[in-house]
């Protein structure tokens, strides 16, 4: 019997993963994974665990968000500083997993849930607790003042992407204006409306178009750099409570379906098939034992990596996408 699709995949276990969520890929090709239950893991391109039990301590706790900066340092957003209390902080490790800084709370960090790097070496942090964002310099110094940016424009932000002009685009999980653009210096905050119900994942492409995965409506939306809607809540291709979203080197959008146990593919804005689903109605990877796939990233060989929060595994779909330069900082670029 023919398989549901012809993608080759590799299921990876170990490394201490415990409810894995976000992931980032280093210039070496190594894959870093943050787990909500207080551990960070690193794997070689072939899936071998660099640290058999993962890395813990140093304040790493309840992490949904993690990102690598352009130097390869790992920034971990700890939603709470302890299991049931605390307002959260950020831990920074170097590329070897050694501690650079812990308990970073500068710039208004408050229950942080996501982290994103820009090409200046800065790190953006999404503060779910007070609906703000924080910008940290490469040294951890706050660039967003003492209270963060966003004013009253953000409403339960959960994800962020950076465009080529260093603007931050924020996905708001609640409210009538689910997409917010914040200028690189924080001086301009603009909200945009789309049919984005439960916006949970966001990514910028090479043309500064912004793609949003809408968890509640099982759809994907896209706006251009001015906030004009290009795709409004399209559905199909296996979308089911999408969470993670990433853009490959050709501008194609890839989506992790948290409760569909699959990934979806949409033709990008540079394609004559823009917005068309390239994945079947059930999505790709339905034979790959995905379980509650949360985060998704593309590496420099074109493989897609997906964290499975439901069974503590990492899945590599080998060479199915167009490669991107890693680590990701701003819109994806070809290697």
- pLDDT per position as a tens digit, 190-241: 999 999 999 999 999 999 999 999 999 999 999 999 999 999 999 999 999 9
Write down the pLDDT at residue 72. Answer: 97
pLDDT above 90 covers a percentage of the chain that reads: 96
CB 151 within 8 A of CB 187: no
Write down the pLDDT at residue 83. Answer: 64
Mind listing the pLDDT tens digit for each residue in 156-203?
999 999 999 999 999 999 988 999 999 999 999 999 999 999 999 999
DSSP class of residue 151 equals T
pLDDT above 70 covers a percentage of the chain that reads: 99
User: What average pLDDT does this structure show over 131-141?
Assistant: 96
Q: What pTM did the predictor assign? A: 0.96
Write down the pLDDT at residue 84. Answer: 66
Write down the pLDDT at residue 1. Answer: 84
Does residue 107 surpass a pLDDT of 70? yes
Does residue 258 surpass a pLDDT of 90? yes
96: exposed, middle or buried (C-beta count within 10 Å: 0-12, 13-18, 19+)? exposed
Encoding tokens for residue 312?
A: 């503590």
């Amino acid at each position: 019997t023919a398989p549901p699709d012809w993608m080759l995949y590799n299921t990876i276990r170990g490394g201490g993963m415990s409810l894995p969520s976000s992931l980032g890929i280093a210039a070496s090709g190594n894959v870093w994974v943050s787990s909500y239950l207080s551990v960070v893991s690193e794997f070689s391109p072939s899936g071998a665990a660099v640290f058999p039990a993962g890395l813990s301590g140093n304040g790493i706790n309840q992490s949904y968000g993690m990102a690598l900066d352009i130097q390869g340092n790992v920034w971990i957003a700890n939603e709470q500083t302890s299991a049931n209390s605390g307002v959260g902080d950020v831990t920074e490790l170097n590329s070897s997993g050694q501690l650079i800084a812990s308990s970073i709370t500068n710039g208004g960090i408050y229950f942080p849930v996501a982290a994103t790097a820009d090409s200046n070496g800065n790190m953006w942090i999404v503060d779910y607790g007070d609906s703000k964002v924080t910008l940290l310099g490469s040294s951890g110094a706050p660039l967003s003042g003492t209270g963060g940016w966003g004013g009253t424009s953000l409403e339960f932000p959960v994800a962020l992407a950076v465009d080529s002009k260093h603007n931050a685009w924020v996905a708001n999980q609640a409210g009538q204006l689910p997409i917010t653009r914040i200028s690189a210096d924080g001086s301009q905050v603009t909200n945009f409306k789309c049919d984005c119900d439960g916006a949970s994942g966001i990514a910028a492409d090479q043309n500064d178009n912004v793609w949003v995965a809408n968890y509640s409506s099982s759809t994907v939306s896209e706006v251009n750099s001015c906030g004009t809607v290009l795709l409004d809540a399209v559905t199909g291709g296996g979308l089911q409570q999408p969470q993670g979203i990433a853009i490959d080197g050709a501008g194609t959008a890839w989506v992790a379906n948290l409760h569909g146990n699959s990934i979806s593919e949409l033709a990008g804005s540079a394609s004559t098939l823009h917005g068309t689903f390239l994945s079947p109605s059930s999505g790709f990877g339905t034979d790959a034992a995905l379980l509650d796939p949360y985060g998704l990233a593309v590496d420099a060989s074109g493989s897609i990596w997906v964290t499975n929060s439901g069974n503590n595994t990492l899945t590599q779909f080998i060479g199915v996408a167009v490669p991107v330069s890693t680590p990701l900082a701003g819109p994806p670029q070809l290697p």
